[in-house]
Chains A and B, each alone.
Chain A
Amino acid sequence: MGLLKIFASILIVSSTSLIGYCFGNRYSTRLENLLHLEQCIKILETEIVYGAVPLPEALTNVYIKGNKKVSFIFEEIRRNLLNNRDGDLLKSFKMVSNQLTEQLSFKETDVELFLSLGRLLGSSDRSDQEKNFKLILKQIEILKNEAKIEMDRNEKVYKNLGVLAGITIVIILL
């Protein structure tokens, strides 16, 4: 009987810890992915502003050169763009926005920033594109700082909360 209790307690504590860990981890994943996204956007900026590479090709280059964890979305946008051929870039950006929240732990503000890239991309001349990229990179910097603060504040809290909640449940049950 005692052995069973110990086993059950371990199970409870480890599962709540895991839940806590998952919740906490979202914050560091978001920060990490924002960093990768920033890098991808910088590659895209180089391709467009300095290379004047046509957008579909530029998107492939971002996919190849960027961190695949995030850069795969650019390849998906390209595929969507060329398959649909309806002249609407924003639509292709919107298609992948679900994945941003689900797979990359992005928040709504991050997705909104990403979509604003879709609104501006390719529709004007190089100097204009350069200005837009600067603005977007500045905004991403702000989001990164915000994500860092949130991570410092919440990540440990959630992780500790998971462990403590488990222990509390065990104590009550015992």
Chain B
Amino acid sequence: MQQREIGIYENVLEYISLEISQVLKKIPLIYKESVEEIRLRNGLPINIYSMNSDYFVAEDGSITKDKHRGKLVTKEDIIKTFQLISNYSVYAFEEEIKNGFITLKGGHRVGIGGKVLYGKNGVEKIKNISSLNIRIAREKIGVSNKLMKYIIEYPNTIYNTLIVSPPKCGKTTILRDMIRNLSNGLTDYNFMGLKIGVIDERSELAGMYNGVAQHDLGPRVDVLDGCSKKDGTIMLLRAMSPDVIVMDEIGGIDDVAAIHEIIKAGVKIIATVHGSSIEDLRTRRSLNILINDMIFKRYIVLDNSKGIGTVKDVIDGNTFTSIKI
């Protein structure tokens, strides 16, 4: 397992300019296993995010909290890294760059910061790239196993579920693992696999690369990659006859309309949202509509009090009481 995690990290280094990747190769093993983000910023030290904290990396590969010791990233490094990430083909990633990120083989995502240029149809390109944030995708197979009993509805369907979590608490990872469990089926619960339509607006859930999902989502999944929730819902309902539709990070009023469409069609839904509690969600108008309409029957609230992906509470959507055992 440890070896696999280190392998993932070293694969990601292939996409970073030689000067920087040589430094990053020397960091201690414990960090190699757990790095979640590598941040390169023009003229600033290499920054990694690992185990809930951020560190700088010194020239000799040691980890430090002192920004003055960190190895500085030059403009050249950023340009070379960007070339490697885009496979020397910026033109082939035009659409992705407009959205602010590129997905790498393995499902890792690279966020791009720089000067944004507008054209007739919104953002046209990002130039003078000043920062890159490489988010290492680490699949955690089995993290949702404990939660499945809350969302399975007898005999063979699920409750509409909303995962509520602050950023970086593992909601996407848990959602991804739920998709895998539901599409595989669960013998423990005598649960047959369901057809799942995934609307992967940010290419995070499936991590599609050249039409192949880079994460294990099981055998009954259809993915709409880079598709908006509104359009994706219509497309899935019309053509793919899913049992469940999954979407990440809802929030806008369009998303609410899409969810109503899904419910109307008798299809179940699992979604995630940024937030720390149901009270917090109620402060947002669009989400308040969903809560009052009692669309979701299960709310799974996450935090990172005992590490990433801690399940703080599971709440019933009709009575708003905790059902966590």
Query: Does A169 count as interface, using CB distance less than 8 angstroms?
Result: no
- Within residues 101 to 139 of chain A, which ones have a CB less than 8 A from any CB in chain B? 121-126, 128-129
Which residues in A have their C-beta under 8 angstroms from that of B79?
A: 87
Which residues in B have their C-beta under 8 angstroms from that of A54?
A: 87-89, 92
Query: Does A163 count as interface, using CB distance less than 8 angstroms?
Result: no
Instruction: Encode A74-87 as 1/0 by CB contact (under 8 A) with B.
Output: 00000001000111
Compute how far the CA of A53 lies from the CA of B203 in the bound complex, rounded to whole angstroms: 20
Compute how far the CA of A52 lies from the CA of B97 in the bound complex, rounded to whole angstroms: 14
Is the beta-carbon distance between B90 and A122 smaller than 8 angstroms?
yes
Query: Does A73 count as interface, using CB distance less than 8 angstroms?
Result: no
Compute how far the CA of A49 lies from the CA of B90 in the bound complex, rounded to whole angstroms: 11
Is the beta-carbon distance between B17 and A122 smaller than 8 angstroms?
no
- Contact of A56 (CB < 8 Å), options: B88, B97, B125: B88
For the complex, count residues of A whose C-beta is within 8 A of B.
22
Is the beta-carbon distance between B18 and A55 smaller than 8 angstroms?
no
Write the chain A residue with the least CB distance to B82. Answer: A87
CB-CB under 8 A for A87 and B90, given A123-B83, A125-B125: no
- Contact of A85 (CB < 8 Å), options: B14, B90, B97: B14
Which residues in B have their C-beta under 8 angstroms from that of A88?
A: 80, 83
- Contact of B81 (CB < 8 Å), options: A87, A89, A121: A87
Query: Does B154 count as interface, using CB distance less than 8 angstroms?
Result: no
Is the beta-carbon distance between B92 and A87 smaller than 8 angstroms?
no
Number of A-B residue pairs having CB atoms within 8 Å of each other in the complex: 59
Q: Chain B: interface secondary structure?
A: helix
CB-CB under 8 A for A125 and B80, given A85-B14, A87-B17: no
Query: Does A31 count as interface, using CB distance less than 8 angstroms?
Result: no
Q: Chain A: interface secondary structure?
A: loop
- Contact of A55 (CB < 8 Å), options: B14, B17, B88: B88
Is the beta-carbon distance between A122 and B88 smaller than 8 angstroms?
yes
Write the chain B residue with the least CB distance to A78. Answer: B88
Which residues in B have their C-beta under 8 angstroms from that of A121?
A: 88
Query: Does A37 count as interface, using CB distance less than 8 angstroms?
Result: no
Compute how far the CA of A58 lies from the CA of B91 in the bound complex, rounded to whole angstroms: 12
Is the beta-carbon distance between B90 and A125 smaller than 8 angstroms?
yes
Shortest distance between the CB of A92 and any CB in chain B (Å): 9
Task: Specify which of B17, B79, B83 lies most central, judged by the most chain A CB atoms within 10 Å of its CB.
Answer: B83
- Within residues 56 to 108 of chain B, which ones have a CB less than 8 A from any CB in chain A? 79-84, 86-92, 94, 97
Which residues in A have their C-beta under 8 angstroms from that of B80?
A: 86-88
Compute how far the CA of A129 lies from the CA of B91 in the bound complex, rounded to whole angstroms: 8
- Nearest first, the 10 closest Cβ-Cβ pairs linking A and B are A87-B80, A55-B88, A87-B83, A54-B89, A122-B88, A55-B89, A126-B91, A87-B84, A54-B87, A52-B92
